[in-house]
Amino acid sequence: MTTTLSSKGQLVIPAAIRKLDDIRPGQPFSIERLEDGRYLLEKQDIQATHGLMNWLLRCPEKGWFQEIPSESTDTL
């Protein structure tokens, strides 16, 4: 299988490979230059508690969220 480097320096991983390896947008990779013209690309683990998930897990208790009443824009 082949792919092409874009003008932005991005490589596209073909859909067949993405499906086989469950690669989704935001998937981290590491790349290593082995020698002139040879590279090693490795899929990295996604941290289950990253970003927003960390913030949500630090919430003091479940059910703390309360919706703020607001008017509809239809009534303006």
User: Of residues 34 and 69, which shows the higher confidence score?
Assistant: 34
Structural domain includes residue 27:
yes
Structural domain includes residue 14:
yes
Could you give the residue ranges of the DSSP H alpha helices within 1-76? 15-20, 52-57
Condensed to tens digits (0 to 9), the pLDDT of residues 10-35 reads 999 999 999 999 998 888 899 999 99
Structural domain includes residue 4:
yes
Q: In this predicted structure, what is the pLDDT of residue 47?
A: 67
Q: pTM for this one?
A: 0.54
Condensed to tens digits (0 to 9), the pLDDT of residues 35-64 reads 999 999 999 887 655 677 667 767 666 666
Our count of domains for the chain comes to 1
Question: Exposed, middle or buried: residue 33 (CB in 10 Å: 0-12, 13-18, 19+)?
Answer: exposed
What CATH number is attached to the domain comprising 22? 2.10.260.10
Give CA–CA dist 42/64, Å, rounded: 40
Closest CA to 23 of 11, 34, 35: 11
